[in-house]
Structure 1
Amino acid sequence: MTLVRLGYSAISMHVKNSSTSKTMTFSRYSQIEDKNAAIRKIVQIAATNLTNLLRLLRHNNAHGIHFYRMSSKLIPLVNHPEIPSWNYVKHLEENLHDIHTFLESHPEMRVDFHADHFVLINSPKKEVFNQAARTLRMHKRLLSGMGINPVHRCVMHVGGAYGNKEKALEQFIHNWGFLSADLQGMLILENDDKTFDLSDTLFLCEKLGVPFVFDIHHHLANHKEGERWEEQWPRILKTWDHSNLPIKMHLSSPKSKSNYRAHSDYINSEMFVEFLNVIKGTVQQIDCMIEAKQKDEALFELMKGVKKYPGIGIVDGGSFLIK
């Protein structure tokens, strides 16, 4: 028997006017002559994003959703090279404390981040790596400000191949050593749909002691000939042995046969249950992050869909047992 908890990312299709990614362009920032006033405007926007984040967490709790991925765009223009550094955690202390208080009273709720595509640890360019490290530091500061233990709370892809995938893997390992230990501890790695497949990413995870986030859609779109994820599943589980968090996976469905890599609006429940019937009993709990265009609506539809299959026992609005 395995407990399956579903989550979604960033945006709700049900909570109106709840964007957590409101922003200010650098052009608009530049037009404000008083730079202290410009920073105050950024703080105001960020405070709105954090207020909406708390609204979404309350929405999730009300509907039995215990897993949520926050937007990486909570703070506009954060780490922009032409904006003086400022203490966003201090300026947003009250908003972060409100989120901390909520999460403290709902310890079952798992909240995390996914680093943006431009956060490239394995870049051969020093300035790109340094910017990636600054961005990861921002994620850690926000997590800490919300009272969340940052360990294993930020997923990311391996990065670019830069014309030589083997060399790019070596570059990742090399650059990893230049990350501080606390940032290393925050990261978990995911296989992607074009370059670094299951075995590539699993190699890095085992070598560096990093939990592996299995994306089954990415695997179907990008895998070595004859490679079966089922054969690698015990190794995937083992990467989570030293984590205090349950194993995490990503869940999406192809938009179409001709546009296979793109994410569908919803999740194919039959494919998902087929996967679960293979892994059930191998782990007590698995948290599945839905990556679908319809966000929480896709989660609600998937919960309706899995009810029709044998061996499914609904726990609440976002969780079920498979026997």
Structure 2
Amino acid sequence: MRVGYVSTNYSLGCKADKTIKLSSLSEERVLKVSSSNLLCLKNILEWNLKHEILFFRISSNTIPLASHPKFHVNWKDKLSHILGDIGDFIKENSIRISMHPGQYVVLNSVREEVVRSSIMELKYHADLLDSMGIEGKIQIHVGSSMNGKEESLNRFIENFRKLPSNISKRLVIENDDKVFSVKDCLWISERTGIPVIFDNLHHSILNNGESLNDALSLVRRTWKDRPMIDYSEQEPGEKPGVHATTINEENFRRFVNEVDEVDIMLEVKDKEISALKAVKVLKELNKLD
């Protein structure tokens, strides 16, 4: 297994997800902040490699405001050198990469303007990965349940089939904790070929009676390569679904004893600190890739 964490490393003192206000949008500002984000991303990946962390979720803010209608910066050409350098580092060291656009990406919205803006945001993510010359998955939720679940699932499939290939080939869907369970994601996958990311915390809240192993076995069939899964724990005293500040090593050990041949993305607030704990556990169990 590989283990990873999301977008930020608190040990390094740099940020790979700086953004800018729309009122400050200019080519100079975009290129300056984007360059800073990319240099920090390279530092994070180098740090991760030293600590045997070979899975990482790149921030959606790497190129700030890149999908906004007022954005007209040719970042792919002007930042090509550093993008290529990062991509080469990722490929040379077999680092697995994912991205996860935010809550405003709703591919199955009933509002056409939301679908259009969602596709523009997905295009930016695909363009960023393409500019690095790397494989990488773009992870989203199924989205809206407006007009009922069945119609919502069909809207997702209809809009997915309209996507450019550089987006559709990267897209993966994740079960959520409110509406769309693993079973619903599998229904979409059967009709589209989209891989399904299994989220253990969401599954513990919303499921159709499947055990963890049964659900993961079904999800595994949707992948041609090793499945990516999301792992998090419930924060004590908070409402269901709130991610824990850090992983509990014993809980994580029990979890990985139940699963094999997956890459685990930690959705935990202390980021690389929990990733280091996870690496330690995987080494003890002789399960670290």
Shorter-normalised TM range: over 0.9
Query: Is 1:89 paired with 2:76?
Result: yes
Indicate the structure (1 or 2) with the bigger Cα radius of gyration. 1
1:141-173: per-residue Cα shift (whole Å, max 9, x none)? 1111111035xx111111121252222111111
**Which deviates more, 253-262 or 67-76?**
253-262
Give the aligned partner of residue 218 of structure 2.
235
Assess, with a 3 A threshold, how the Cα gap between structure 1 residues 105 and 307 changes in structure 2: closer, same or farther: closer
Aligned to 2:101: 115
How does 1:159-238 map onto structure 2 within 5 Å?
159-224=143-208, 226-238=209-221
Output the TM-score relative to the length of structure 2. 0.93
State the partner residue of 1:279: 259
1:104 alignment partner AA: K
Match of 2:2 in 1: 5
In the alignment, is the contact (CA less than 8 A) between 2:3 and 2:278 conserved in 1? no
2:139 matches 1:155: yes
Q: Which amino acid counterpart does residue 226 of structure 2 have in structure 1?
A: P
Aligned partner of residue 186 in structure 2, secondary structure: helix
The corresponding residue for 2:235 is: 255
What secondary structure sits across from 2:197 in the alignment? strand
Match of 2:110 in 1: 124
> Does 1:48 pair with 2:36?
yes
Distance 1:181 1:128 in 2: 20
- Pick the aligned partner of 1:101 from 88, 92, 95: 88
**How far, CA to CA, are the matches of 1:146 and 1:306 in structure 2?**
29
Aligned-residue RMSD, C-alpha: 1.9
Aligned residue for 1:313, secondary structure, equals coil
1:25 corresponds, among 21, 27, 40, to 21
Structure 2 equivalent of residue 270 of structure 1? 250
Out of 269, 292, 300, the residue aligned to residue 268 of structure 2 is 292
Q: How many residues align?
A: 289
Q: Percent identity?
A: 30
TM-score of the superposed pair, with normalisation by structure 1 = 0.84
1:33 corresponds to: none
The secondary structure found in structure 1 opposite 2:286 is: strand
Larger relative contact order (C-alpha < 8 A, sep ≥ 6)? 1
For the residue of structure 1 that corresponds to 2:45, the secondary structure is: helix
- Distance (Å, rounded) in 1 between the aligned partners of 2:210 and 2:92: 43
TM-aligned CA deviation for residue 92 of structure 1: 1.0
Equivalent pair of 1:216/1:250 in contact (CA under 8 Å): yes
- How far 1:124 moved relative to its partner? 1.4
CA contact (8 A) 2:189 2:195 kept: yes
In 2, distance between residues paired with 1:291 and 1:248? 13
**Partner Cα separation in structure 2 for residue 260 and residue 144 of structure 1:** 37
Show structure 1 runs of 5+ residues with no match. 30-37
Asked if the contact 1:264–1:293 (Cα under 8 Å) also holds between the matched residues in 2, the reply is: yes
Report the CA distance between 1:257 and its aligned residue.
5.0
Which whole-Å CA distance do the structure 2 matches of 1:96 and 1:191 have between them? 31
Q: Distance in 1 between matches of 2:149 and 2:2?
A: 34
Aligned to 2:51: 63
1:52-101 CA distances to partner (integer Å, 9 max, x unpaired)? 100101111111111111001111121222x1433210121122122123
Note the residue ranges of structure 2 that are not aligned, 5 or more in a row: none
**Contact 2:252/2:278 (<8 A) preserved:** no
What letter is aligned with 1:252? S
1:261 aligns to what SS in structure 2?
Answer: coil
Q: How many Å separate the matches in 2 of 1:229 and 1:158?
A: 20
